[in-house]
């Protein structure tokens, strides 16, 4: 690959609007493991917030995607590939960037708000239990 071609590929990777219109790859190989990237991103994105139980999974995925992106850029920078391979790498890097952008936009669940909601639900259940235990539960729904 010529030096100007390598620079052209690297410029495409680092362009600000590179992800505009880019597709998240259906699947991608990261460290020898095939991952259904598009399905994972859409599954997580559908929820709008990252549930507490999924937070570690999402953070691990973002870390692995960043590492894979860096390795692919490094292959282009180190001139280890042909121009055609470099173009394929650029497309995959832009797809990784698109997936990372989607995952970065997710809002973590507000832990304090979640705790307050849980406490309110607990108080409500406790009051309902006390009413039943004391025989004050009325069918009219009055409290």
Cα 139 from Cα 48, distance rounded (Å):
39
Q: What is the pLDDT of residues 76-99, one digit of tens each?
A: 998 778 999 999 999 989 988 988
Residue with tokens 């708000």: 113
Contact partners, residue 52, CB within 8 Å, separation at least 6: 109, 111, 114
Instruction: Examine the pLDDT at 105 and tell me if it is beyond 80.
Output: no
pLDDT at 140: 47
Q: Could you give the CA distance from residue 62 to residue 50 in angstroms, rounded to a whole number?
A: 13
Residue with tokens 């590929």: 9
Task: Give the list of residues 6+ apart from residue 107 with CB closer than 8 angstroms, or none.
Answer: 48, 49, 50
The domain segmentation of the chain, as residue ranges, is 3-109, 110-143
Contact 94, 22 (CB under 8 A): yes
Handedness of CA 68, 70, 73, 74 (dihedral sign): negative
Look up tokens 């990784």; give the residue.
Answer: 96
Q: Which residue has the higher pLDDT, 142 or 46?
A: 46
The confidence band for 113, taking pLDDT boundaries of 50, 70 and 90, is low
């Amino acid at each position: 690959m010529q030096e100007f071609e390598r620079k052209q590929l690297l410029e495409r990777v680092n362009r600000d609007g590179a992800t505009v219109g880019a597709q998240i790859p259906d699947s991608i190989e990261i460290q020898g493991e095939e991952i259904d990237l598009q399905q994972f991103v859409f599954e997580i994105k559908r929820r709008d917030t990252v549930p507490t139980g999924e937070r570690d999974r999402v953070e691990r995925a973002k870390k692995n995607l960043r590492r894979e992106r860096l390795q692919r850029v490094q292959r282009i920078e180190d001139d280890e590939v042909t121009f055609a391979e470099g173009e394929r790498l650029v497309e995959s890097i832009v797809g990784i960037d698109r997936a990372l952008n989607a995952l970065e936009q997710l809002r973590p669940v507000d832990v304090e708000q979640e705790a307050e909601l849980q406490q309110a639900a607990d108080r409500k259940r406790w009051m309902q239990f006390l009413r039943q235990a004391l025989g004050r539960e009325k069918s009219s729904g009055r409290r």
